[in-house]
Amino acid sequence: MNTLFLDAAFSKQTERPPVWMMRQAGRFMPEYWEIKNKYSFLEMCKTPEIAADVTMLPVDLLGIDAAILFSDILVTGEAMGGDLSFTQGVGPKFANPVRTLKDVDALEIDVLDRLQYVADAIKVIQQRLNGSIPLIGFAGAPFTVMSYLVEGGSSKDFKTTKLLIHNRPEVAHKLLAKIAKVTADYLNLQIAAGVNAIQIFDSWAQALSWNDYQEFSHRYIQEIIANLNRKDIPVISFCKGSSVFAPIMAEAKPDVVSVDWNADLLNIKKSLPAGIAVQGNLDPHILYADKTVIKREILRLFERMRGENGFIFNLGHGIMPDIPFDNVKYAIEVIKDFKY
């Protein structure tokens, strides 16, 4: 296996930074749309062979150093009892929002049988990878999953979620505790099925104040990481807001903190305890730019991180759907040509 990604995640010395990109198996690829136009998004997630097909697209077309399971952060919310749907141009919707204690009590936590399709997909993907590169599994962090359940979908201001955590914190904590239990079980299911690394996505953490992040996000991520069967499995913690929250994130003892593009990556790395790697943190909008700009910005980041063990190249967030495929491919070529 090409262990470049795993070595960097465990803060070992590597000849160059490994590369993978969030949303690398996504809508910027015509080949993705060839599949997406035949099936609904949830059908793609729940059919192991199709999930494997999509997972393998960036492996075959881009030559990245790690694959990431094709799935969605909201499958845990659905398994617990959320009525989940995805609509083109609208995004995810839960038809039965969770807003009262009664709603929270109705959610189930013994739901691994409903997520078995993910374990089945992992086995198919690992057969396809055949030991070539590592496979990353993932889950949504409790606060982010809670925000979708409470809002009933995406939100610009998270008003309903914030009202819940401020006016009825006991209800919010009960909901978060349930999601955290399911998430730890779900990630351990993925580990048992054969993933080589785990990433926890707290996509909406930047909506929280410092104190609220500690109370309603960090403590549950800490609990999840503490309950993982993580021997030889690096754990990556990502949130939008990591440029601010990185010192707290490190307290949960992940192996890697994945950093958004609002901070200097070396400064973040030096602020973290020894042995915690960093992942990031190119602004994904750079990939819209001319190739000379893409190369310049990647090499600028690499020069900044020169001499640092524990650095995985990634974007500060996911690839946008209309970024030109050729630009992504070029970026990966620049990275793979680099040598320290």
Give the residue ranges of the annotated binding site for substrate: 23-27, 72, 148, 203, 317
Residues comprising the binding site? 23-27, 72, 148, 203, 317
Identify which of 54, 64, 59 has the alpha carbon closest to the alpha carbon of residue 31. 54
* Rounded Cα distance, 280 and 156, in Å: 24
**Residue showing tokens 């549950």:** 220
Would you say 282 and 301 are in contact if contact means Cβ atoms under 8 Å apart?
Answer: yes
Rg of the chain taking only CA atoms, in angstroms: 19
Question: Would you tell me the crossing angle of helices 169-193 and 219-226 to the nearest 10 degrees?
Answer: 30
How far apart CA 202 and CA 257 sit, in angstroms, is 12
Render 132-173 in DSSP notation, one character per residue: SS-EEEEEE-HHHHHHHHHHTB--SS-HHHHHHHHH-HHHHH
Start-end of H helices in the chain: 4-9, 30-36, 41-46, 48-62, 75-79, 101-106, 116-129, 142-151, 159-167, 169-193, 210-213, 219-226, 242-251, 265-271, 291-304, 325-337
In this structure, are strands 91-94 and 84-87 parallel, antiparallel, or unpaired?
A: antiparallel
Give the distance, in angstroms, between the CA of residue 325 and the centroid of all CA atoms in the same chain: 21
DSSP symbol at 196: S
Residue 38: CA count within 13 A, CB half-sphere: 8
Which of 236, 160, 233 has the alpha carbon at shortest distance from 202?
236
CB-based contacts of 280: which residues, under 8 Å, 6+ apart?
242, 258, 259, 260, 261, 265, 312, 313, 314, 315, 316
Q: Is the preceding peptide bond at 281 cis, omega within 30 degrees of 0? A: yes
Facing residues of 202 across strands?
Answer: 239
